[in-house]
Structures are given as structure tokens and as C-alpha cells.
Amino acid sequence: MRPLILASNSPRRRELLAELGYSFRVEPSSFEERERGLSAHDTALAFARGKAEEVFSRFPEAVVLGADTVVSLDGAILGKPKDKEDAARMLRLLGGRTHTVYTGVCVLLRGHREERVEATEVDFFPLTEEVIGQYVASGLPLDKAGAYGIQDGYPLVRSIRGSYTNVVGLPTETVGTMLAAAYGGK
């Protein structure tokens, strides 16, 4: 069986992929994520593809999984915050509103490429300055698209429509189906 490589250093993606029962190793991609004026949907897919292709170029005998998560509010992409002030700004924008989380997924192996984008709508509670301040002070939002993690335990998310694991960073149902196809029905 070809080795599986996760082209991401995200601890959340590692945990979610491990929960699917696959053995894999992590090889972070050196792909540079640069804004290209694409929609959030297309950005998530382009970044996932770029990560997977860069790692696949180094490990052509492997199955490579690339993923990228993008938060979109009113068509604008909210990436990872630059600092605590930027995180607080993003949380203020998201408070009391609905946004969409897109995760692009790309699976590559010799002679096979499959790409998908999962979208989940997320409704936030109205956020007080106290909640925003406590959450930002925890440091948790600083490495996450949109400056939040649904799994972090803070009272941010009122409801979702779609995949919970997509909001965490890897839509496991979608990835499970894609990897099963890549491995011929694991």
C-alpha cells in the first residue's frame, strides 16, 4: 500500500485524519499562500492543490492529502490573524452574524487526482467585548482562519449547517470517501 502523507502541519488535521484510521506521516508543504483575487471557495481549493502538488513533487510514490480552510464573511476572506488586535477585529466582525467556512481538499497519487470543496455555514452568537478579550488573551485564535476554533470551548458558535469537522479544518466524511477511492476501497 502506498504511504499516505498529510501535506499540513496543522495539529487539528493530524487528529482528524488519525480518527479516520489511516496511518500517515506529516510533510508540511512549502507552498506559499498568496492572495490571488479568487473567491473563498476557489482560494481554498487552489491552496489545497498547491500544498498537495508541492509535497507530491517530493514524494511521487505516495498518496498526498492537501487541505486548506478559508473563512468567508460577505465574500471577504478572513485568514489567520496577524496579531491579537487583528484577532479581536475579526471576532467583532463575525459576532452575531453568519459566515461560511470552506475547506478545499486535494488527494494526489500517480495517475489520480481528486479535488473537492466542503462548505459549512456558521452562525455566531453576538459577542461581548469580555468574551472577545478572554478568548484573544488565551492565544487560541492566533493560528486559525477567521480567528476562531469551533472546538476551543468558548461561547462563539450558535449553530452550524454542514460538517462540524469541516469547520475544525478537515471534512472527514469527504476525506474518507476520497482516500477510499485513492486506495481502491480501503
For 16-46, write each residue's pLDDT tens digit. 999 999 999 999 999 988 777 899 999 999 9
Closest CA to 91 of 117, 122, 120: 122
| C-alpha cell at position 136 | 484573544
Which residues belong to the active site? 68
Domains and their CATH numbers in the chain: 4-182 (3.90.950.10)
Q: Which contiguous run of DSSP H or E holds residue 87? A: helix 84-94
Single pTM value for the model? 0.93
For 50-106, write each residue's pLDDT tens digit. 999 999 999 999 999 999 999 999 999 999 999 999 999 999 999 999 999 999 999
